[in-house]
Structure 1
Amino acid sequence: MHTDQIYIARDGKSGMHVLVRILAVDDIGVDYPPIDPDNFNKLMMARDVKSLVLAARDLGPMYISADILSRRTFIPSHLQQDIECGFNLIPPNLESLLSECYFDPYAIPDEIAGMGYRAIGRTGKKATRELINELDFTKAGDLSYLDSQFRAIVEPLHDWVFARNLLSILMRIGGLYRSGADPDTILEAARFRQVNPMVLKKRFDIDTDTCYAIPIAFNPIYRMENLADKDISFDALQFCPLYDSLNCSDTCRFSLI
């Protein structure tokens, strides 16, 4: 369902950015209509934060289950005033926002670190500044007039980045498979990298000396700017439910770094 209004903010607890989507009460939990191909293409073509957020707005909320939404649904004015327990939203931060948004296939392998990818200019500082200036939730004004008929749905921004990148990677692997690529080298052809993350071997609980790194640079669970003790209290299910569901899966055989 199309969302007419969407904002961006930074969660004060996790330090990561979120989308604040204003939806009519009657629309929450309603089944999705078929995805519009044009809106899907907008998501796949997003190469900066602004275009990603606008694509997410047009596609509608990622989660429709009442159980999943129960932890991230708020009365708009209460969310602004931090009356309800949960999210303490603060203004977006340009540099932190850029660090969260790597867009496959535009990320470049980081040969120095030897264990992942680094950002490039396509993350778009200009577009990111425009997004913050236009859609900063903390500057949205008094939203109490919405309280009776609307709710604010909080979504992790990184889940949208991750969904976009995973779709891009899957489409690339599918194309390589259909073209007859060698199964033994198909991951390398899809821009996965064999890495040797010895420094974080214990932290990632990797059994072998090498693994494949997915071509996505930012890992919200193992955020490099945080100390290990901060990660202990990090609730990935709340802050990055899509990422966490895949990162913790027994079928996930590559490192998400």
Structure 2
Amino acid sequence: MLRLSALYRYPLKSARGETLRQSPLDELGLAGDRRWMLVDEASGRFLTQRAVGKMSQLSALWNVAGGLTLSAPGYSTLDVALPGKDEALRGVTIWSDTLRVPDAGDEAAAWLSAFIGKPTRLVHVPPERARLTQSGYGKEEDRVAFADGFPLLLIGQSSLDDLSRKVGRELEMLRFRPNLVIEGGEAFAEDGWKRIRIGEVEFRLVKPCSRCILTTLDPRTGERSADREPLTTLKTYRERDGEVMFGQNLVNDGQGLLEVGMPVTVLE
């Protein structure tokens, strides 16, 4: 039987993830997931671990009021309030999308600039200002916060186990930054799913997830694997049209509550 075996949330894009037992779903995926982002102060371009590896050491915990609590080794904790949806709008760029979103203020910017090592701003995306998902997949009205292309990412536990065996060492699931982990199926069974139900919520699997150099970073230390694993091994059997695929992007149709242990039903 398939079941939901793990839930992860990433309140701040590319910072540390949170392990959850349960989470509500809203119109943009898991409540509080990747609603915040760091941008270069001068250009407004988004920052991630791809270029700033030390972001793996940055903790940003979401609270029910929508704000963040920032912490990092050697830095005092900082509580950041949720800005108003139309306050202090800043132009930002994430991949090919440009949008205007609320800035979290100077205190958060000073804290993060000291940590990152260059002028940095913290921004938030309210639902009203969310982006459209990647063109050509899903429905035209599907929206996403600051995740790369889609609201949610699913990985089968058996798929990771298969990759770990091929690499020759156990790999951490957080290396791949999923939201949902499913156990009970065969390796890469999720490649063939189109629709699933967890609890009372249905999900559409809209596109395989193409992987990048970020998978070679140790999620605990931010250090890059000298052997470029697991990307090197993934390329030997998961490359499609020049891209390395691992995991499935999905969109939730409706809102509800997810809890670890819930059964998963493949609808299509």
Normalising by structure 2, we get a TM-score of 0.28
Which protein has the bigger strand share? Answer: 2
Larger radius of gyration: 1
Which protein has the bigger helix share? Answer: 1
Normalising by structure 1, we get a TM-score of 0.28
